[in-house]
Structure 1
């Protein structure tokens, strides 16, 4: 039986490991002059620094696309965090502000995640578990060039229903 060779322009991407994502994040941060930092829980600055404007090639992520990434890649981990950490009957909202850094050759990874305290009603280990899990999200690269995209989303936690 003859093996079917993939078409030359077809690329199959395997999921990256955490180590590969961290290495990619550091490379992108270094390439575009963004500070590198470990994913430590830190208090957000009183006035966040203004983010550089991304080039028009990646000025925004379509809402549907970002929601799909969150639903597919983060929600299962957030549900696991909730089941493992939250007290029975606990509920509330967690709002995360996310910055994604991307490059057409390397792809897109999470650059920064901050908890929006004004829109968040839960705290502690559950918040940190979800925040750290969000660093594992990966995005398709911009079609050309590079950029940084920021967006915010809220996850509602409740024993009554799935996220």
Structure 2
């Protein structure tokens, strides 16, 4: 698979190679771990109930066994719980970023600022915003892959046949003082994954990932493919 970068409309665009292997291995190991943990412990042999002596008080009689009516516990998904907290931080960062951009817009609305802006426009355009592709991949592997694994496990509980390629397109925007965050998450039209729950889980998980702000301000557009499969060999 090839990868490359280009420029469109004043921002930099990256196409990241698919990270199929990491997803496949992570999902395979997670399924093996769940299978082991779901194996019940051997129960001790049941003992015959003892008949209380005649005349024994009701307090001395053995209590009747009580059957639990509680529903089976949902499997814990710590990464998704953490994603919820990270998403809240991201939303707060987004509000702060918008306030900062609005303040800058007001500052540039003065006559002197407009004159300075015209002078800047007459100069050569500055370098486009950028982020290192290896850094983007590292952040995805560190923060998103655990979430992607849990999203996929949850979807497999509803449909064991879910598998295929998902291509996500998103923007990384930010400010040097505030930080960088994900915005405008979209899916490519030719996605093989159609499961709404998995798609929405991946979208929300992607929005929870934070990055360093793009160098030079502005935004960086990223196209990132994922391959989901329960086969550790990718078949």
User: TM-score range, shorter-chain basis?
Assistant: 0.5 to 0.7
CA contact (8 A) 2:172 2:180 kept: yes
Structure-2 change in CA distance of 1:128 and 1:76 (3 Å): same
Unaligned runs of 5+ in 2: 1-84, 103-125
Alpha-carbon offset, residue 161 of structure 1: 2.7
Higher relative contact order (CA 8 A, sep 6+): 2
**TM-score, normalised by the number of residues in structure 1:** 0.68
For these two proteins, the number of residue pairs brought into alignment is 124
Counterparts of 1:96 and 1:162 in 2: how far apart (Å)?
Answer: 23
Match of 1:24 in 2: 93
SS in 1 for 2:218: strand
CA contact (8 A) 2:171 2:184 kept: yes
Match of 2:221 in 1: 150
Match of 1:50 in 2: none
Superposition map of 1:118-133 within 5 A: 118=190, 120-123=191-194, 124-133=196-205
Alpha-carbon offset, residue 60 of structure 1: 2.0
CA contact (8 A) 1:25 1:111 kept: no
Superposition map of 1:27-106 within 5 A: 27-32=96-101, 56=127, 59-86=129-156, 87-106=159-178
Alpha-carbon offset, residue 146 of structure 1: 2.2
CA contact (8 A) 2:174 2:180 kept: yes
Structure-2 change in CA distance of 1:17 and 1:140 (3 Å): same
Match of 1:10 in 2: none
Unaligned runs of 5+ in 1: 1-15, 34-54
Alpha-carbon offset, residue 20 of structure 1: 2.4
Larger CA Rg, structure 1 vs 2: 2
Structure-2 change in CA distance of 1:142 and 1:99 (3 Å): closer
Counterparts of 2:86 and 2:170 in 1: how far apart (Å)?
Answer: 20
Higher helix share: 2
Alpha-carbon offset, residue 115 of structure 1: 0.7
**TM-score, normalised by the number of residues in structure 2:** 0.48
